[in-house]
Amino acid sequence: MDSLLSKLPPVVLLLTFLGIWMWEGLQAARPGKRDWCRGRRNLVISVIGIIIGGLMAGALLALSSTVEAHHWGLAAIEPSWMIIAAGILLLDLMDYWRHRVSHAVPLLWRLHRVHHSDPQMDVTTSFRSHPLEAALRPVFLGTAILAFGIPPAAVMLYPVIQLPVLIFQHANIALPKQIDRRLAWLIATPAMHVVHHSRWVPETNSNYSTFLTLWDRIFGSFQPSVLPRGIGLDGCDDERSQTVLGLLIEPLRHRPTATGIGIGIETPADGSTN
């Protein structure tokens, strides 16, 4: 069973990605010709991050197995679906705060803005993250594993259910408003997440959830679906910034934007105050 679960994430990732990619071609929310050059660049960065994430996933599983062997936290309780569900909830809660902190800490924002600097948002944006950010994310999850004693089954199941939602929420697809609104009570939807990719800071600093929207609602960062004031980051639209090399060295660039400083800053994305 454990062997099967460990093999599921890459299969789920590939099938979901291909399915959403075809869906976008049939029902795009923001119609327009696909930018193949941009898509290829995003995929190159994504593959690097996915490889790093895959390697780190093995380390997380080993950490969880150690916790289980020492009967710590949840892992000390007789295994059941309730315990596994609790572990998944705790991992998702940590991932919510990992994402929110990435907007709040200037150094982490320098890495995270590689994801936000995409001037469009579609399925290829899903894993467009700086390799260093991909390496740091498991550190947050590892902290939760140690703190709560999250068992291996939860660690293996979490990416199986979280990755499809992560891909889905970045999709350039238009769901009927009623369906999207109701679905957003449970998981992050495309109309909800596109707000997070807005160029306007109050919108960017909202809707951090990567799986369950419960956390945005509890911690006051939920923003109803609205048409964002542009997608991307000001100052990052030039061709040089959007190359693979440009994305890799993006954290070294000084940007005048203040998006990543603080949580919920009420200033426009260009840093001005009106």
Structure confidence at residue 256 (pLDDT): 58
Q: What six digits make up the tokens of 46?
A: 């994504």
Instruction: Indicate the number of domains in the chain.
Output: 1
Q: Is residue 120 part of a domain?
A: yes
**Which of the four pLDDT bands, split at 50, 70 and 90, describes residue 213?**
very high
Q: Is residue 273 part of a domain?
A: no
Q: What is the 3-state secondary structure (H, E, C) of the chain?
A: CHHHHHHHHHHHHHHHHHHHHHHHHHCCCCCCCCCHHHHHHHHHHHHHHHHHHHHHHHHHHHHHHHHHHCCCHHHHCCCCHHHHHHHHHHHHHHHHHHHHHHHHCHHHHHHHHHHHCCCCCCHHHCCCCCHHHHHHHHHHHHHHHHHHCCCHHHHHHHHHHHHHHHHHHCCCCCCCHHHHHHHCCCECCHHHHHHHCECCHHHHCCCCCCCECHHHHHCCCCCCCCCCCCECCCCCCCHHHHCHHHHHCHHHCCCCCCCCCCCCCCCCCCCCCC
Q: Is residue 145 part of a domain?
A: yes
Q: Is residue 263 part of a domain?
A: no
Name the pTM for this structure.
0.88
What's the gap between Cα 144 and its chain centre? 17
Q: Is residue 269 part of a domain?
A: no
Question: What CA–CA distance (Å, rounded) separates 166 from 196?
Answer: 13
Residues 115 and 125: beta-carbon distance below 8 Å: yes
Q: Is residue 73 part of a domain?
A: yes
Can you tell me the mean pLDDT for 258-273? 38
Show the domain range for 97. Answer: 2-252
**Which of the four pLDDT bands, split at 50, 70 and 90, describes residue 32?**
confident
pLDDT digits (tens, 9 = 90+) for 57-115: 889 999 999 999 988 888 888 878 999 999 999 999 999 999 999 999 999 999 999 99
pLDDT digits (tens, 9 = 90+) for 152-174: 999 999 999 999 999 999 999 98
Residue 187 φ/ψ, nearest 5 degrees: -125, 165
Question: What CA–CA distance (Å, rounded) separates 267 from 22?
Answer: 37
Question: What CA–CA distance (Å, rounded) separates 26 from 163?
Answer: 22
CA distance readout (Å), 217 to 28, 200, 203, 271:
28, 20, 15, 27
Structure confidence at residue 226 (pLDDT): 77
pLDDT digits (tens, 9 = 90+) for 113-156: 999 999 999 999 999 999 999 999 999 999 999 999 999 999 99
Structure confidence at residue 254 (pLDDT): 82
Number of other CB atoms surrounding residue 262 within 10 Å: 16
Structure confidence at residue 38 (pLDDT): 93
Structure confidence at residue 150 (pLDDT): 94
Residue 263 has pLDDT above 70, yes or no: no
Q: Is residue 258 part of a domain?
A: no
Q: Is residue 21 part of a domain?
A: yes
